[in-house]
């Protein structure tokens, strides 16, 4: 099977095109090929498939073999891939995802290459049951929880997949590898959750690190950046548009007051192409 290694701010994927449907052994293949020591190495596999509703359908399998409903960095990679390969010849693309339905993308291009992609990430989901959490409240702001004897105040948002935002003094110094996996499986989140540790540096900037459900520590998370902005706006910490700083780079996120949609802008990069045996 031929693949293209791509990344969005260091959140990396093996991208496959040409399959008619998600392979039945996709979970096994993800665990095998995403291994950074015995495989190619990636945070997940991305399959670009036919769609009856959009230009293409995207399915994402995390490195642990579970499926993600949505991924902001992966969808930018998909848009870059289909444009630069010539599968679409226009700068507006639609991608169908499990968690957010059909998403609209606008590509910035120059000389046949995509430099940046702006994605309509849809309306944020704030109802506790819909995120999902076990809470019947809306929104879930600063909800106290406990994990391994440590107390946290969490804000929950879904961008087609669940997120738990926790504000800390310094995300770079925070013990992500200890608390990320514990919070990912907290009973408050029946389908587990992505966990963002964030700090506000100005009304126009949030710094954060992420523990991704099914992948662990990653250099960036597009849906997590969107969720962090929404949470920060709800708290009154930031403007409705801000830069979200991640270890792999910056994303620009806007929560439009007119249509209530969140828009994310950022780059995607191609690393190399190769092939793997099943």
Q: Which residues are marked as active site?
A: 71, 221
> What is the phi/psi pair of residue 98, to 5°?
-65, -40
Q: Return d(Cα 177, Cα 192) in angstroms, integer.
A: 16
Helix (H) and strand (E) counts for the chain? 4, 18
Q: How far is it, in rounded angstroms, from Cα 173 to Cα 191? A: 28
Tell how far CA 101 is from the center of its chain. Answer: 15
DSSP string, 146-170: EETTEEEEEEEEESSSEEEEEE-S-
What are the two backbone dihedrals, phi and then psi, of residue 79, each rounded to the nearest 5 degrees? -60, -45
Q: How far apart are CA 77 and CA 249, in angstroms?
A: 15
Please report where in the chains the tokens 């499986």 appear, as a residue: 185
Do 140 and 155 meet the contact criterion of CB atoms below 8 Å apart?
yes
What are 202's strand-pairing partners? 205
Task: Check residue 125 and report its DSSP letter.
Answer: B
Is the backbone peptide bond immediately before 268 cis, with ω within 30 degrees of 0?
Answer: no
């Amino acid at each position: 099977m031929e693949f293209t290694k791509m990344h969005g701010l260091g959140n990396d994927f093996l991208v496959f095109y040409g399959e008619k449907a998600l392979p039945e052994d996709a979970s096994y293949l993800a665990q095998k090929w995403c291994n950074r020591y015995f495989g190619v190495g990636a945070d997940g596999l991305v399959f670009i498939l036919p769609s009856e509703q959009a230009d293409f359908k995207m399915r994402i399998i995390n490195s642990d073999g579970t499926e993600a409903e949505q991924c902001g960095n992966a969808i930018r990679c998909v848009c870059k891939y289909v444009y630069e390969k010539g599968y679409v010849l226009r700068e507006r693309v639609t991608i169908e995802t499990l968690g957010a339905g059909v998403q609209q993308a606008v590509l910035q291009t120059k000389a046949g290459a995509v430099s940046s992609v702006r994605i309509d990430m849809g309306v944020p989901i704030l109802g506790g049951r819909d995120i999902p959490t076990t809470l019947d409240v809306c929104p879930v702001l600063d909800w106290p929880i406990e994990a391994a004897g440590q107390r946290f105040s969490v804000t929950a948002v879904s961008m087609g997949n669940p997120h738990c935002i926790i504000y800390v003094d310094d995300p770079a110094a925070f013990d992500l590898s200890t608390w990320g996996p514990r919070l990912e499986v907290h009973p408050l989140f029946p389908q587990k959750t992505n966990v963002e540790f964030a700090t506000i540096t100005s009304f126009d900037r949030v710094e954060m690190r992420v523990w991704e459900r099914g992948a662990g520590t990653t250099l960036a998370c597009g849906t997590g950046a969107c969720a962090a902005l929404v949470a920060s706006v709800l708290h009154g910490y930031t403007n409705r548009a801000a830069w979200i700083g991640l270890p792999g780079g910056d994303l620009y996120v806007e929560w439009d007051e007119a249509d209530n949609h969140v828009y994310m802008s950022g780059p995607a990069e191609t690393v190399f192409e190769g092939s793997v045996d099943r």
